[in-house]
Copies of this chain bind each other. A is one copy, B any other.
Amino acid sequence: MGAIIRPMDSSSIKALTFDVFGTVVDWRSSIIREGEALGRRNSLTVDWARFADAWRGQYQPNLEKVRSGELPWTKLDNLHRMALDQLLVDFNIKGLTEAEIDDFNRAWHRLYPWPDTVPGLTRLKAKFVLATLSNGNVALIVNMAKRTGLPWDAVLGAEVSRHYKPQPEVYLGAADMLGLAPSECMMVAAHNSDLAAASRLGFHTGFVSRPGEHGPSQSSNVSAEGAWDIVADSFIDLADQLGC
């Protein structure tokens, strides 16, 4: 006998707001693939999985420099570039032109969605406003969406609020711009901490597990760690549970 499932009453929810890196797109495989292509073009021998992890490893420390005020407002493209410049030294990668480095930095604009992302979002879009609520800057999110067909209704998040998650201004600013109360929004993320921050502000919460986000040795965010309104294993499952 299966467990008793209490379907969620989603009638009060008008908008779904999405974390992007890891939740919507598979940043790790995409960066590895871009690195491998760069390596082939330039005869570089690099462990690109380790490089991708190191690049993403600079993400929270650099966001924290902005959150703490150590750096003034800086968009994510520029934080990615600061980290990349250091990693080129750390990994002893030499001989790239400025155009090649800039293009590699824009690999973050070319991340691929998980296989269930576009079909799931397409179903969800018929019932809800779909907005990004990401730390990615607007151009990054727009270029990514345009390339792979992510059907956002609005690109909100860090840059339009000039704060980085999990600062409350990002979540509250997105709800306000959508003309909605937080309780009319559901934050969708593969990260428990993101949902915890949104939940404290009154958002509904949807956890979508992405156990492969960090590769085979992932140890965090493997499963839901809070009493989230929905726990799903894909955007298709999320659409099912939201009655789309």
Binding site for B on A (CB under 8 A): 77, 129, 131, 137-140, 142-143, 145-146, 153-156, 159-160, 177-180
Contacts and interface: CB of A to CB of B under 8 A. Distances in A.
A177 B138 contact: yes
Given A154-B155, A155-B155, A177 B137 contact: yes
Contacts of A143: 129, 179
Contact of A138 (B137, B138, B142, B178): B178
A227 B177 CA distance: 36
This chain's copy number in the assembly: 2
B160 A142 contact: no
A140 B160 CA distance: 17
Contacts of A160: 160, 177
Contact of A159 (B131, B159, B177): B177
B139 A179 contact: yes
B154 A142 contact: yes
Nearest to A138: B177
A142 B77 contact: no
Contacts of A140: 179
